[in-house]
Structure 1
Amino acid sequence: MDREKLSFIKLKPSYSVEKFSCGDADLDDFILHRAVAFQKHLLSVSYACVDAMSPGKVLAYCSLANDKVSITDFKDKTEFNRFRKKRGFPNEKRMKSYPAVKLCRLGVASDAKGQKLGSTLLNIIKSMFVIENKTGCRFLTVDAYLDAVPFYEKNGFRFMNADDNDPHTRLMYYDLMDIVA
Structure 2
Amino acid sequence: MEPSNVVKNFSCGDADLDDFILHRASVFQKHLHSVSYACVDVSSPGKVLAYCSLANDKVAITDFKDKTEFNHFRKKRGVPNEKRLKSYPAVKLCRLGVASDAKGQRLGTTLLNIIKSMFVIENKTGCRFLTVDAYLDAVSFYEKNGFRFMNAEDNDPHTRLMYYDLMDIVT
User: For the superposition of Structure 1 and Structure 2, which TM-score range results when normalised by the shorter chain?
Assistant: over 0.9
The aligned residue for residue 101 of structure 2 is 111
Identify the match of residue 85 of structure 1 among 48, 55, 75: 75
Identify the match of residue 168 of structure 1 among 148, 158, 163: 158
Aligned positions, number: 171
- TM-score (normalised: structure 2): 0.99
Q: Any idea what the Cα deviations from partners look like across 1:11-31, whole Å, max 9, x if unmatched?
A: 1x3xx2111000000100010
Say if 2:30 is the partner of 1:40: yes
Give 1:53 deviation, angstroms.
2.2
The aligned residue for residue 128 of structure 1 is 118
The aligned residue for residue 9 of structure 1 is 2
The aligned residue for residue 30 of structure 1 is 20
Distance in 2 between residues matched to 1:55 and 1:61, nearest whole Å = 15
Q: Which amino acid aligns with 2:143?
A: E
Q: Which amino acid aligns with 1:141?
A: T
Distance in 2 between residues matched to 1:53 and 1:108, nearest whole Å = 17
Distance in 2 between residues matched to 1:78 and 1:69, nearest whole Å = 15
- TM-score (normalised: structure 1): 0.93
Give 1:54 deviation, angstroms.
2.3
Identify the match of residue 145 of structure 1 among 117, 132, 135: 135
Q: Which runs of 5+ in 1 are unaligned?
A: 1-7
Secondary structure of the residue aligned to 2:10 is coil
Q: Any idea what the Cα deviations from partners look like across 1:103-139, whole Å, max 9, x if unmatched?
A: 0000000000011000000000000000111010000
Q: Which amino acid aligns with 1:44?
A: S
Secondary structure of the residue aligned to 1:101 is strand
Q: Which runs of 5+ in 2 are unaligned?
A: none
Distance in 2 between residues matched to 1:88 and 1:111, nearest whole Å = 41
Identity of aligned residues (%): 87
